[in-house]
């Protein structure tokens, strides 16, 4: 089970880096809200 979580975490980080690298005004406005939601979810799962 922990192996699956490690793989999911690695892919999540990769996707986050790709999205953060996008240079589009819409992404820049949505990204902070998505980050807050992700942090809340990570804390909830921990």
- The domains of the chain are located at 2-45
SS3 call for 1: coil
Rounded Cα distance, 45 and 25, in Å:
31
Query: What are the mean pLDDT values of the chain's consecutive 10-residue runs (46 residues total)?
Result: 86 83 81 81 61
Residue 9: what pLDDT? 86
Enter the tokens of residue 12.
Answer: 């999540």
Residue 36: what pLDDT? 83
DSSP assignment string, 10-37: HHHHHHHHHHHH---HHHHHHHHHHHHH
CB atoms within 10 A of CB 34: 13
């Amino acid at each position: 089970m922990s192996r699956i979580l490690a793989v999911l975490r690695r892919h999540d980080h990769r996707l986050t880096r790709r999205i953060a690298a996008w240079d589009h005004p819409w992404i820049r406005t949505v990204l902070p809200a998505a980050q807050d939601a992700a942090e809340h979810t990570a804390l909830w799962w921990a």
